[in-house]
Structures are given as structure tokens and as C-alpha cells.
Chain A
Amino acid sequence: MRYVKLPSENFEEFFNSLKSWGTVYAPVKQGNIYSFKQVNTLGEVSLNYTRTMLPPKKFFVHPKDTLLKLKNGRWEESKEVEKIVLFGVHSCDIHGLQILDKVYLAEPIDPYYKNRRENAVIIGISCMPDEYCFCKSLGTHFAMHGFDLFLHELPDGWLVRVGSVKGHEIAWANESLFEEVTEEDLKHFKEFEDKRSASFKKHLNKEGLADMLDLAFDSPVWKKYERICLGCGNCNMVCPTCRCYEVCDYWINAYESVRVRRYDSCFMETHGLVAGGHNFRPTRLDRFRHRYYCKSYFDPSAGFNCVGCGRCDEFCPAKIEHVKVLDEVREELK
């Protein structure tokens, strides 16, 4: 990794220079929630945000996405891609994108996702956990790659990790704004990380979690939550690693039609419904449990399908807590 320092007094100028790399989107406070929005000035950005409601996946897998347009009886690929800079992405969300990469960039490659990924600059930012975060338990609290630049807060500026060729080019173009990193800066960087590491309140015990869950298929805990869960699917929408989608064709006029995909949720009754009315996950219990299995699936090459961002807890109207459910399942098994 290459490290440079961005002094506070140069921060705004650096921020403004990002506009030449694409439209800048950053966390903005709206009422009580944060959301990635287009921004023009540094003043609009909430640098100390906790988490946005929708994760950055919304830029790569749009909530509603036109795949193909029917013209003269043939499908034409819908091709608009915008150059974007995602400014202020937290480490867990960078990991979330890498989990999506495993799906969408696996053969056969999803060209829409790939194009958008290639046209995006990812600038990470350090954060402090709140009561919902448990990324440390999953090892997603620090990003080693998947970003172009990562900004770590220092008392008098930012320690910048340069994570890609594109990141290097951005630093290059702003050479005059950066300084060498000093021993002092590294000390502050380490202090910040230590303080952060000690601030996590929530921990997920993931030891043997995959097997443990498998054994607990008939656990009464699932039945308890079947009654509490509203089946609204919020937890899926806000999750940086959830990516089920549904596809529909729409007619725009008598000659033109579009094929659109949009977010789907495994909490919806139709998710496992096939022809003739047979449903492979007919009850809410089946669907609730399925989500936990999907999130806690242990892929030896990728780890869990959860990055511990805490969104599903914060935005669950029934106040269901991910870690608590898993702990209860484990407890019941003992």
C-alpha cells in the first residue's frame, strides 16, 4: 500500500477536484437518516455518519434497472453509464461490494454491473462504530482492497491509503495537496484504530456458526421470530449483500417494451412460488430462517454473506436484532 497525507487545509480543494472524475455522491443527512446523494460542496457531506439506509449497492444494482429495450422486435442493451465518485464509503460497505462482485462478476459476467463498477471511484473513510455495528466480528472493519483511496482521520488531516492505479492517478493529479506521512501521523492512525477497535459494543460469535445453524434447523427460536417478524423485507432492501431480483417486461407503447429488474426479497411469499401454486418456502418461518442461512453461509473462499453493518437491525420495524437471533439459536442448542 502507498500512504500519503492530506492536511486539513487542503481537504476542500481535494474534495472539489474529485468532480473531474465523475459526479460525486456522498453521505448526506436527511431527517434522521443518511443517504448517498449527489453533492457539490464539502459542507453538504456528513463525514461522521453512521450508516446510510441504502448501501452503495444502489449505484451498481439499481433498485429498478432497465436491462433491455425492445426495438423492432429485437432486444437492445440499455447502455447509459455515469462516471461516479462514491465519497465516504465505510469499510464494511466496501466488503459488501466485494461480495456482490463475486456474484455479478462471476461468469457469465453481468455487463451492467461491470460497467458501473469500472466507472466508479471508491473513496473510503474511517468511522467509529455505534451500537449496531459488529463488523469487527466478521473481519470487515478494515478494508485491504476494493477502494481507490481510503481516508483515515488524523487530528490535523487525513492519512490516505492509495489502493489502486486509479487512486494513484487521483493522488498524482493532486500531488501538490499531499505531504509525506510522518511518524507522528502513523502514531495517530494507530491510536484511532485502537480506540475504534475498543468501541465495538456488539459481537457475533461466529465460531462454528455455519454448522451450529445447520443443526438448529428445527430450533424453537425460528418459531418465536416467525411471530414477531412482519415479513416486510426491509432487512433485504437495506443489506449491502442482498441482491435477489425479480424481472418484468413493460410496454411503453404499442411498439416498444422494456425488460426491467428490481430488488426482490426472500421475505415475499412469491419468492419461492412456482407454477401450479407450489411454494418451496410457504411459511414465514421458512423465509425468516432462509435469510439467516443465506447470510451465515460460510463460503471458504469468501467468508459469510454478512458484513456486520447493522442496517438490518436499525431499519427493522419489529426491532429484530441479527446477532441476538443467532445468539439465541446457539443458546437453545446447548
Chain B
Amino acid sequence: MKIVVLVKHVPDAQFDRHLTGPGNTVDRDESILSELDEYALEAALQLSEARGGAKAGNEVIALSMGPAGAVNAVKKSLQIGASSGAHLSDDALAGSDAAATSLALAAAIRHLGADSPVDLVLTGMASTDGETSLVPAQLAERLGLPQVTFASSLEVNGERIVARRDGDAHADTVEASLPALVSVTDQINEPRYPNFKGILAAKKKKITALTLADIGVDAAQVGAAGSLTAVETAEARPPRTAGTIITDEGDAGIKLVEFLAAQKLL
């Protein structure tokens, strides 16, 4: 089985995050492998291992798109257990919106499937920076694949995928045949950490550097130029400041109600 897992290098949410530059794009200093992609990687590794792993010809390719630093998300994925990596990087990609991102990633996935077809594309449920959840659905549309998104469980039996998807009003069982695109939630598994052996092994694994020319995408189709939306203004919201803090002396519940009444919230 050949699985491509999308891994994004995102700003660490533990630090303040910023928008910068003319396109108001996210500042990527202090970035990490998106936590939500770790669940997709774990799902891929479990599927591969259940089929005998790399020895049995299973491949888990970690694919990232982004500036030089984004290769760190690929490296971390290799340490965790991916069999190889690919890093799509090109100055023209800067400022890509979901449409341009999905266009470039679709071309990269086609490229990775040129010698042998990709059976499964796995992604996290959303990036932890853009948070739109648009890219998985757009990729499925562009690649003509069935989309099984927000999977909280995933089984592959032969050519058939069975997943669970939790909605607000109902929980669905969803089925599709391979090849397919699956996005997974943080309910699906417990991602593993890289261990010492994995870190050593990763040094020998291959990372393919890809440019737009390699995947046959024109610079005008991506980046700010190829994006279908533009962020026009961005204003930092004043940070929330702490208000009144009291310590309960037996009457805090009553003081709380007085506060709510004063705020006209009752």
C-alpha cells in the first residue's frame, strides 16, 4: 500500500502567532509539525504495519509544502516512522490560499504517484494555523477521489475503506473504495513519539526536494498571484486582559450572580 501523508509546518500555538508581510500571511518562525497531522501519520503507520510494513512493500510518504523550514515537518515524520519524505518548496508558493495550496499539493501527489499509484492520501482534520479544513476536500475534488473526512476510526479491508464520522446530529459509517482521501480527527488514535532508533533511522531516509517545475505547475497558478482570495486587512485583536479575580470566602456564588446581573446577563 502506498500512502501519502500531508504534514504541515505550522507556528507553535504555545507562542504568540503573527501575520506579516503584504499578503498578511502567517509568520513561520517557531514552527513545528502540526499536532493534528500526527494523527494522520499514526493512522498511516498503523495501516502500513498491519500489512507487514516496509518489508512487505508498504510505503508511507510524508509530503510537506512550504519554505525551507518546512522540511523539519518531514524530518520529524521520518523520525516517527514514515518511510520517505517529499518537500515541495518554491518561492512562488508564498501566500497561497487553500485553492492554490490544493492545486500545488494535487500536482505533487500526482507526481509521487507517477511510478506506482498512490492508494491513500491521509491528512489531519485541519491545519492548526489556517484552520479552514478546506484543503482535504479541495484535494479530493482535484484528484477525483472519494473523500472520507473527519474520520474518527478507519479500517481498510482490501480495496474498501470503512470509517466513522461524527456529526452534530448523527454519527455516520462511511464507506469508499481505494484510492481515496481520508482526513482524521484527534479521536482516531494516540500518536507515537519518535524514539532513539527512529531518530537514527531517519538520517538514512530519503527526502525528495520538489519545485513547481518538477510537478508541472506554473508559478502564476499559485502563491498570491494564483490565489482566489486575498486578505486585505489584518488587525491584531487587543489581547484579553484579566478582569476581577476574587477568592471564594463562602459567598463567591452570590458575587458571581451579582456580576452577571450587573452585566445584564441574567
State yes or no: do A and B come from one complex.
no
